[in-house]
Each structure stands twice: as structure tokens, then as C-alpha cells.
Amino acid sequence: MTILLILITLITETLSIYGQATGLWTSWVWFWLFHGVAAAAYTLACFRLLPEEYKQPTLQSVLFISVISLAMPVAGMIGLTMLYVVLANWPRKPTNILWRRADHIELPSEAQTITTSMFGVAGLKDILLYHPDPERRLAAVKACRYIPNREALPLFRLAVTDKEDDIRLLAFSFIDRMENTLTKKINTLKVKLEKSETASTLVQLGELYWEFYYLGLSDGAITRNYLESAHIYFDKAAALDPRGQIYIKLGRVHLALGNLDEAEMCFENAIAAGSDRDSIALYRAEIAFKRREYGKIDDLLCKCSGGPDGEHSEELQEYWCVSAK
């Protein structure tokens, strides 16, 4: 393609000079017609042959070549060719600078920027673990406020082990704020429940107790106590309003408690109440895994929504691999 453009340039530029040499009034029309074609072909050919560093910005580079080619017939093309040949082959002065100072990148301070910045959860964790500057680690703790609570809590617990008092106290305050927020919501709903016991209120209470377990805000006997409380409220809600979603929530609680038979019964009740069988296949596959009925797992995963390669499937498989060790 480049060779063809060069040939077109040579032929049309020769024709333009020949037409001007005739001396007729039409010679200028002939000249600018063929010279314009030659300049356009030369511009494309020259741009294709340029080294990458000379092609940016594209518009300015193309305009520079085309203007010089049009304004200076023959001489402009020869001059540009010699100029670019020299620039492309002229030996550059070697630099002795091995390192360049990078700009100091600030941690995000707003919720809408944390997800689009280079600081993900892993980046914040690395800062908390390895950065020598306490101010930088303190800023990382503050940035953790803008990521989901389930991802932020392990980072806050990591910050609690920091040697700096300010960092430890700030992390403690965020963890305490999470717990207090859930506790206040529970107390408000309990007051509401005393006035009128509805399935909606019972479900909300069960979800809040489940949240303590889901976020990992407790451990040991306290965790089991939260799960038992969630079980009580979900069970009462299912008695008042036997909907599929409530049975699924109750089944998840039984699964977390290790009550596999009760969990399977809840999922069967959810299917009977109209829930999609495929949406429960993942939980049933987990039950099969814990029962060591490995032959059923593959079939159940293939039935779940999105197939066995879905996002939730990968999370559960990772969980099962850790549990099996």
C-alpha cells in the first residue's frame, strides 16, 4: 500500500509539472489538480512510514505534512522526506536517568471514586500491611468506609492490629458503628413487633440477625446465638406468610447452623411455595457436599441459574474447597 502511494505521488507530481510547462491557461488547473492528488498520496505514505512517536497527535501530524506538501511543490516533499529520514535514524543521546519520581497518588475520599480508582480491596490491604507511613495507613482506613461492609470489616480488623493508636482507635470506631447500627435497627423493630406482629417485621428482624453472621461481626457462641435468633424470626414469619423467599432465608440459616435435614426441608417447602427450583440448586449442592454425596453436586450445579460457571457458583465452590481442608 505504501509503495503504491509513493508511485501515485511521483506520477501525479510529474504530470503537474508537465502541465505547468505547457504554458496554457489551463495549466494552473492541471497543476493544482495533479499536485493536490500528489500531496494527498504523499501525506498518507509519509504518515504510514513515520515512527510511532511522531504520529501523535494524529491531526496535527497529518495537517503539518499536507500543508508543507501543498505549499511547497516538490521541494516540500523532498525536504520532509529528508527530515523524517534524519529524525528516524539520528542516534539519540543516551540518558543516565534510571528512575523517575512518580506523582503521589491520593487515596479516594468519596464513595463514587473508590470503585473506579486503582485502590481496590487488595490495594487497601497492602497499604495497611506494608506502608511505612502512618498517615497513609490512616487514610486507607478512612477509604474503607466506602466499600461494602463485608469487604471492609476484615480490613478494619487488620487495622486494629496496627501499632499506631490513632489507626487502631479509628478502626475500632468503624466496627463499633456497624454493630451499633444493626443493634439500633433491631431494637426499633422489636418495639414495632410488640405493637403488631407481622410477617414483614419478623423477616426484617431475621435479616438483621443474619447480617451479624454474614458480615462476621461475631464469632463462637455469639454467632450461633445470632443464627438461632434469625431462625426463630424466620420460622415465625413462615408460619404467618409461607412464601418461598422466607423458606429460602430459613433454609440458609439452617445450613449455617449445620442442620442439613431441616435446611433441605425448607428448600423443598420453598419450591412447593412457587420458588424457582434452579435458584435453590446451589444451596442443595452445598447440602450434598456436606453430606459427602459428591455425585449429586455436578448435576445440581448444572441446574443452577447461570450454569456452573456463574459468579455465585464460584464463590460457593471456593468456600467448599476451604471447608474440605
Other beta carbons within 10 Å of 253: 26
Q: What is the pLDDT of residue 113?
A: 52
Contact, 60 vs 31, CB < 8 A?
Answer: no
Helices and strands counted in the chain (H then E): 16, 0
How many residues comprise the chain?
325
- From the centroid of its chain, how far is CA 299? 31
Measured between its terminal Cα atoms, the distance across the chain in Å is 62
Q: 309 falls in which pLDDT band (50, 70, 90)?
A: very low
From 22-31, 167-176, 185-194, 280-289, the region with the lowest mean pLDDT: 22-31
Going by C-alpha positions, the residue among 299, 292, 242, 293 that lies closest to residue 268 is 242
Q: What is the pLDDT of residue 97?
A: 66
The vertex-112 CA angle with 129 and 121, nearest 5°, equals: 20
DSSP 217-279: ---THHHHHHHHHHHHHHHHHHHH---HHHHHHHHHHHHHHT-HHHHHHHHHHHHHTT--HHH
Q: What is the pLDDT of residue 104?
A: 67
Q: Which three cell numbers stand for residue 168?
A: 487502631
Q: What is the pLDDT of residue 106?
A: 66
What's the pTM?
0.57
Q: What is the pLDDT of residue 151?
A: 85
The DSSP symbol for 163 reads S
Alpha carbons 298 and 283: distance in angstroms, whole number: 13
pLDDT exceeds 60 at position 23: no
Q: What's the sign of the alpha-carbon dihedral 67, 71, 74, 80?
A: negative
Average pLDDT along the chain: 77
Q: Which three cell numbers stand for residue 111?
A: 464513595
Please report, for residues 158, 227, 256, 318, the alpha-carbon distance to residue 322 in angstroms, rounded to integers and kept in the order given: 21, 21, 15, 6
Name the residue ranges covered by the structural domains of the chain. 2-87, 119-177
Encoded amino acid at 243, one letter:
R
Q: What is the pLDDT of residue 197?
A: 86
Each residue of 47-95: pLDDT tens digit? 777 766 666 777 777 777 777 776 677 677 777 777 766 666 665 666 6
Q: What's the sign of the alpha-carbon dihedral 229, 230, 236, 239?
A: negative
Q: Which whole number is the average pLDDT over 268-287?
A: 85
User: How many CA atoms, within 13 angstroms, populate the side-chain half-sphere of residue 126?
Assistant: 7
Q: Cis link prior to 148 (omega < 30° from 0)?
A: no
Q: 317 falls in which pLDDT band (50, 70, 90)?
A: low
